Each structure stands twice: as C-alpha cells, then as structure tokens.
C-alpha cells in the first residue's frame, strides 16, 4: 500500500505566498490652501512593522493642483497570509528644498494591502487632522506584477510645438497614458517641464514594461503634450497614439516620429496640419536577470575558504561518527556545510568536470609535496582534500595512489 503525504510534508507550501503588486494614487476634491494659492500635494506611504509605522516611499509633488494624478508607482510585496497595514499621509509641500519639515499635514487614510487587492480599486475619504472626514476622495488602484520584469529606457523630444503663451513661449511637458482593457486611462509617466521652449528635449527616463503595457506590445498608449501654467490650469497642445511595438523601432538607432494633433484645431482650421512633431530618439530594453538566469548562464564565483582550527578543536568529540576510511568530520560548527561524503553544497553547481575528482565528486587541491619520497598526484604534486594539518603517517589508511588525504575538517590524518 502506497503511503500518503500531505502537501506541507512535501514542501509545496513551505514558502510564503508572495505576489508583487503596484499601487497608483489619484485624489479628487482637495481644498485650496488659501484664496490666492492651491495646494502642492505629496503622498507618503507608511507600512506598519512590529507596531511601528515605517516610511516606504513617497510620490512626487504636483504644484498647484486640487485633483492630482500621480505618476509615481508603489511596488510592494503582498503576503496573502499576513495583514499588512498601510497609512497614506497627504502633505502640502511649500518648498522642495526642506522636504516635509515645513510641509502642512492635510490628512491620512489607513487600510490594509489585502483590502486594496480584493477590491482592485479602493476609494476612501481623507481623514483630516483631528479625525474629521474631509471632502477629498483618495483612489488607490492595485495591479499584480506578473511575467516580464524588464525595464524600458525612453528618450523623447519635440519640434515646432504650438505657442500657447502671449509674451513667452510654451513650457511643454509630456504625459504617457496606458489604455486599459476597460477603456480607462492609466497614467504611466510624466516628464519634467522644459521652460520657454517650442523644441524641447526631455530627460531620458526608465519605466517597467509591466507598467507601460502590461507585457502587451500592441496595447495602445496615449501621449499628451501640455503647456505648463503656474496656476495648475495647463493648456492642451495635442496628443497622439502609439504602441510599444511601434516604439521598438527606435532600438536600432532610428527615430520614430508622431504628429501631435489637436482635435479642436483639426475641425476648425482648414489648413491645419499638426501642433508639432514628437520624436522618440531612443528606446532601450534593460533586461532584469533573475538569480536562476545567472546559474543557467554559467556564472562562476571564485572564493577562498578558511578553517578555524581552534573552534574545531573545541567541538571535536572523540566519540563522534567517523567518516569514510576511518577519517573524522564534524557536523557541528562547520564553516562549509557538508553534503554526502563530506562534500560541499557548492559542488552541485560545479561546471568544470575536467579537473581530477576525489570521492563523492569532490575537487582535489594541488599543493606542495608532503614528502619528497611520497607518491605524487597529477603534475608531480601531492593533493589534499579539505585542510590537512599533519603529514601522513606511514601507518594510516592511504588515499588514491598511496597518498594521504583528509575529508572535511580533519585535524589529524592518523585519527
């Protein structure tokens, strides 16, 4: 009769259930700081650990905005069997130089990571200082990270953009949105603002392939160009649609170009062509290798081992089990955990089978001859396995070809 084993005894569920998720934030209905200015909101994400709140990350600061949508994405590890408490604190940051030291605390929201994931999109009212419920609504969207972990490096520029300012030139910035399966738009990245320039060159940036298109190279991406205004009411310049499949054309050093179109101008103006040209100068895929990729790729690490003889002397028990051929080896405070036959666990990944091997597939180390009259190993040298302290005693059991060898951390070959 065959024996039955539980999944836990087989080690199927010995590891925690781990998923990687991305969190995105939007806010609606923030109140103005005062009559003359709007808030400059910034979120700080805290996670509870051993009863203490620890800061995990924070979003960018969006200037003069009461309905901010953040491009910053929080990437967290989700453990199904744990309760992971989160607290999102909202600050009005007056100055970027002093961080949160001079920032005004606007309120917070507390929830668990499990609540966000179970609902996919969690909406909660902001709790103002003192515990009163505010009018602002915070929306937290969760998405599982699965599949490709690669990053994409993109470099955009534009030329001949429309001028939206009377006395100066436009201050353009670019936003990239992902079109979801339910036709909703998800902000992926927002570039910096290039002041007073109709031919801007934006800084190169990196974004994960999962965030950009969820691994779908044909997924539509909507790219919008705005003219930044200090009051937060940015002027619309134009937009275009693309996909990562089209952007890949810039990998070979070529440029990909799209006309920036304003639909209102297109219907009103007969001779309208476009509101400028947006250019992708570079598209580079950055491969994120896993640990297994390094092993399968043949990565080898050279290292040196040392033996603490004093510790071995203290732990050596005359009555301990003997190793093969009467030699002794310790399983107590070993510096190099041994496998069967006193071999090291690192030998399982050994990729050089051409070197002479000892018992159990262990590797011999060529050293100085122990005795000029002693039978020699390969190349005329004697060989040892592990660390040999005393020279061979003629009466001790011999190793290969009559030579002496030690296995494990042997202190006395004659033992």
User: In the prediction, which pLDDT does 165 show?
Assistant: 83
Residues 91 and 38 in one domain: yes
Domain that holds residue 282: 151-286
Domains: count for the chain: 3
Q: Stretch 7-13: mean pLDDT, rounded?
A: 41
* 12 domain-assigned: no
Q: Stretch 294-305: mean pLDDT, rounded?
A: 73
Residue 82 or 329, more confident: 82
Burial tier of 67 (Cβ tally within 10 Å: 0-12, 13-18, 19+): middle
Summary mean pLDDT of the chain: 76
User: In the prediction, which pLDDT does 96 show?
Assistant: 62
Residues 6+ apart with CB under 8 A from 358: 364, 383, 385, 399, 400, 405
User: In the prediction, which pLDDT does 85 show?
Assistant: 96
Per-residue tokens: 336: 């190099």
Residues 302 and 272 in one domain: no
Q: Stretch 307-317: mean pLDDT, rounded?
A: 59
Read off the pLDDT band of 101 (50, 70, 90).
confident
Least confident window among 56-60, 165-169, 392-396: 392-396
Q: How far apart are CA 239 and CA 172, in angstroms?
A: 12
Phi-psi region of 81 (alpha: psi -120 to 50; beta: other; left: phi over 0): alpha
Above 70 in pLDDT, residue 298? yes
Per-residue tokens: 58: 């924070």
Total residues found in the chain within this entry:
415
User: In the prediction, which pLDDT does 261 show?
Assistant: 96
Burial tier of 229 (Cβ tally within 10 Å: 0-12, 13-18, 19+): middle
Residues 158 and 139 in one domain: no
Residues 73 and 178 in one domain: no
* 77 domain-assigned: yes
Q: How far apart are CA 100 and CA 28, in angstroms?
A: 22
User: In the prediction, which pLDDT does 194 show?
Assistant: 96
The H-or-E segment that residue 224 falls in is strand 220-227
Q: How far apart are CA 321 and CA 330, in angstroms?
A: 8
Q: How far apart are CA 400 and CA 325, in angstroms?
A: 12
Residues 155 and 248 in one domain: yes
User: In the prediction, which pLDDT does 6 show?
Assistant: 41
Record the pTM. Answer: 0.60
pLDDT, tens digit, for every residue of 33-78?
Answer: 666 788 999 999 999 998 899 999 999 999 889 999 999 999 999 9
Above 80 in pLDDT, residue 288? no
Q: Which of 172, 182, 264, 262 is nearest to 220 (CA)?
A: 182
Spatial contact of 258 and 158, defined as CB atoms under 8 Å apart: no
Read off the pLDDT band of 31 (50, 70, 90).
confident
Which one-letter DSSP state was computed for residue 167?
S
User: In the prediction, which pLDDT does 127 show?
Assistant: 93
Residues 315 and 355 in one domain: yes
User: In the prediction, which pLDDT does 35 show?
Assistant: 66
Residues 324 and 366 in one domain: yes
Residues 253 and 376 in one domain: no
Question: Which of 263, 286, 309 is at the close of a domain?
Answer: 286
Read off the pLDDT band of 314 (50, 70, 90).
low
Q: Based on C-alpha coordinates, what's the Rg of the chain?
A: 33
Residue 327 or 230, more confident: 230
Question: Which of 286, 308, 325 is at the close of a domain?
Answer: 286
Above 70 in pLDDT, residue 370? no
Q: Stretch 178-192: mean pLDDT, rounded?
A: 91
Q: How many helices (H) and strands (E) does the chain have?
A: 6, 18
User: In the prediction, which pLDDT does 121 show?
Assistant: 92
pLDDT, tens digit, for every residue of 332-344?
Answer: 444 444 444 444 4
Question: Which of 93, 127, 145 is at the close of a domain?
Answer: 145
Q: How far apart are CA 414 and CA 215, in angstroms?
A: 63
Q: How far apart are CA 161 and CA 212, in angstroms?
A: 25
Q: How far apart are CA 384 and CA 369, in angstroms?
A: 10
Residues 230 and 128 in one domain: no
User: In the prediction, which pLDDT does 269 show?
Assistant: 86
Give the distance, in angstroms, between the CA of residue 360 and the centroid of all CA atoms in the same chain: 39
pLDDT, tens digit, for every residue of 199-209?
Answer: 999 999 999 88
User: In the prediction, which pLDDT does 17 show?
Assistant: 61
User: In the prediction, which pLDDT does 319 show?
Assistant: 56
């Amino acid at each position: 009769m065959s024996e039955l084993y539980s999944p836990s005894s087989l080690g199927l569920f010995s590891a925690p259930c781990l998923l990687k998720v991305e969190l995105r934030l939007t806010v609606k209905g923030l109140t103005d700081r005062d009559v003359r200015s709007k808030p400059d909101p910034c979120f700080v994400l805290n996670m509870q650990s051993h009863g203490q709140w620890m800061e995990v990350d924070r979003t960018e600061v969006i200037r003069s905005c009461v309905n901010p949508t953040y491009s910053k994405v929080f990437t967290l590890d989700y453990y199904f069997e744990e309760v992971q408490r989160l607290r999102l604190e909202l600050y009005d940051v007056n100055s970027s130089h002093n961080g949160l030291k001079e920032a005004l605390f606007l309120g917070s929201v507390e929830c668990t990571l499990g609540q966000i994931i179970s609902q996919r999109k969690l909406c909660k009212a902001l709790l103002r200082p003192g515990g009163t419920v505010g009018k602002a609504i915070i929306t937290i969207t969760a998405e599982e990270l699965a599949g490709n972990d690669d990053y994409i490096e993109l470099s955009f520029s534009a030329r001949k953009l429309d001028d939206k300012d009377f006395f100066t030139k436009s201050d353009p910035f670019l936003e990239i949105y992902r079109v979801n399966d339910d036709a909703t738009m998800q902000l992926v990245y927002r570039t910096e603002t290039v002041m007073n320039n109709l031919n801007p060159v934006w800084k190169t940036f990196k974004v994960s392939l999962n965030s950009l298109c969820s691994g779908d190279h044909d997924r539509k991406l909507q790219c919008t160009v705005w003219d930044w205004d200090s009051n937060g009411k940015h002027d619309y310049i134009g937009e275009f649609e693309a996909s990562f499949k089209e952007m890949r054309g810039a990998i070979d050093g070529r440029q990909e170009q799209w006309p920036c179109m304003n639909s209102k101008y297109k219907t009103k103006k007969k001779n309208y062509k476009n509101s400028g040209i947006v250019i992708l100068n570079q598209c580079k895929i950055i491969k994120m290798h896993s640990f297994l990729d390094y092993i399968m790729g043949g990565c080898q690490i050279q290292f040196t081992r040392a033996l603490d003889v004093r510790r071995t002397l203290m732990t050596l028990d005359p009555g301990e089990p003997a190793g093969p051929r009467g030699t002794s080896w310790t399983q107590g405070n070993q510096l190099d955990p041994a496998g069967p036959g006193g071999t090291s666990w690192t030998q399982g990944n050994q990729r050089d089978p051409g070197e002479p091997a000892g018992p159990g597939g262990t590797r011999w180390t060529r050293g100085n001859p122990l005795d000029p009259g002693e039978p020699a190993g390969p190349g005329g040298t004697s060989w040892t396995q592990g660390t040999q302290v005393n020279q061979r005693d003629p009466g001790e059991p011999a190793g290969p070809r009559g030579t002496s060898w030690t296995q494990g951390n042997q202190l006395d070959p004659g033992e």
